[in-house]
Chain A
């Protein structure tokens, strides 16, 4: 293996076609400085160095505390690279928006077996409509039955009655909405 590879790459192999060599030189202009292959989803840094976006992205991920150009060590950042679009490139999508996905913080909703997140009956019935669980935000309310929360108004007062009443209304609206979701 070692010998064959060496023989194949041997400098003594005469360059038969000079034109071919020239073409190769042109191609190298468009090679990614990291994988040394023709740049795909090409981006260019402010210092003028060309990379595949996936390659540069991985470099920036490897050294989050030292964001420098892999060629000239100038400061570099995700926001300050320019995507390159060649002619005939029909879908001119910013490569930074596709592979690999932006490593932003991600929130995942907890899995629910009933198919309806945050809805359940039991002691101290507690129901909340989280943002994202419902297509609208007006139900972002919390319902409490059983043990009132410490912040709730004392039992027996007018305010307590009013809160109970409002809670019930909201609960009925919510239940109607659920039924609508199920049967609509």
Chain B
């Protein structure tokens, strides 16, 4: 790994450990390998959002050209959000692409991702299905996001309506995650979700 990249990550790592966000527990950063090319991030779901109470894991890959090019980041925790792929965890955020600036750090990136959870941007979506629901049916979107936070990110808010519908499909012998995706994508219409899976 290029000297400047490793040196900077080490420095950032030291600083982030002293930051108030890490001390306050809203973000975390850990090492994955010893050559500082891959890290593991963690952000807490912001309060007053469907993600509140959840913990979201992130895969952070540091390119050799860092900080001249952005780190490659994706969600490891499954999340229902218009700017994150519900399948791969890929993120659509300008600063991770063409708006990257060399003075940005892992700390500012993690905070930006946290802000993205507070304010989704459906007009620049990563997941078209989620973005459509976000725009057209905000109540269902919030419910779905809260349910996913509960199931995948350890959020405390149980959504009974979702759980019971997923259970209905489980009883039909459908895989749990597959059932959840189908129901989420079809606005929790049990009939259409089942049709889609068996159609």
Which A positions have Cβ atoms within 8 angstroms of B?
A: 1-2, 5-6, 8-11, 33-37, 49, 55, 58-59, 62, 66, 68-71, 73
10 A-B contact pairs sorted by A residue (CB < 8 Å): A1-B31, A2-B34, A10-B17, A33-B103, A34-B67, A35-B67, A37-B7, A37-B11, A69-B101, A73-B101
Instruction: Give chain B interface residues in 10-43, CB to chain A under 8 Å.
Output: 11-14, 17-18, 22-23, 30-32, 34
Known contacts: A33-B103, A59-B68. The answer to whether A9 contacts B17 by CB under 8 A is: yes
Distance between B5 CB and nearest chain A CB, rounded to angstroms: 10
Q: Which residues of B contact A2 (CB under 8 A)?
A: 30-32, 34
Please tell me if B102 contacts chain A, counting CB pairs below 8 Å: yes
Which B positions have Cβ atoms within 8 angstroms of A?
A: 4, 7-8, 11-14, 17-18, 22-23, 30-32, 34, 65, 67-69, 98-99, 101-104
Name the residue of chain A whose CB is nearest to the CB of B23: A11
Report the number of A-B residue pairs with Cβ-Cβ less than 8 Å: 56
Q: Which residues of B contact A11 (CB under 8 A)?
A: 17-18, 22-23
How far, in angstroms, from A58 to B13 measured CA to CA in the complex? Answer: 23
Known contacts: A1-B34, A35-B8, A70-B101. The answer to whether A62 contacts B17 by CB under 8 A is: no
Name the residue of chain A whose CB is nearest to the CB of B39: A2
Are B68 and A58 in touch, CB under 8 angstroms? yes
Distance between A59 CB and nearest chain B CB, rounded to angstroms: 5
Are A70 and B103 in touch, CB under 8 angstroms? yes
Distance between A108 CB and nearest chain B CB, rounded to angstroms: 28
Q: Which residues of A contact B12 (CB under 8 A)?
A: 36
Distance between B102 CB and nearest chain A CB, rounded to angstroms: 4
Known: A6-B30, A11-B23, A73-B101. 20 other contacts (CB 8 A): A1-B34, A2-B31, A2-B32, A2-B34, A6-B31, A8-B14, A9-B18, A11-B18, A34-B68, A35-B7, A35-B67, A37-B11, A49-B103, A55-B102, A62-B68, A66-B98, A69-B101, A70-B103, A71-B101, A71-B103
Are B13 and A5 in touch, CB under 8 angstroms? yes
Are A34 and B103 in touch, CB under 8 angstroms? yes
Are B8 and A36 in touch, CB under 8 angstroms? yes
Are B101 and A68 in touch, CB under 8 angstroms? yes
How far, in angstroms, from A62 to B63 measured CA to CA in the complex? Answer: 14
How far, in angstroms, from A137 to B13 measured CA to CA in the complex? Answer: 60
How far, in angstroms, from A73 to B18 measured CA to CA in the complex? Answer: 27
Q: Which residues of B contact A70 (CB under 8 A)?
A: 101-104
Distance between B121 CB and nearest chain A CB, rounded to angstroms: 19
Distance between A49 CB and nearest chain B CB, rounded to angstroms: 8
Most A CB contacts (10 A, CB to CB) among B13, B67, B69 go to: B67
Are B34 and A34 in touch, CB under 8 angstroms? no
- Contact partner of A9 (CB less than 8 A), chosen from B14, B65, B99, B101, is B14
How far, in angstroms, from A23 to B69 measured CA to CA in the complex? Answer: 31
Distance between A124 CB and nearest chain B CB, rounded to angstroms: 51
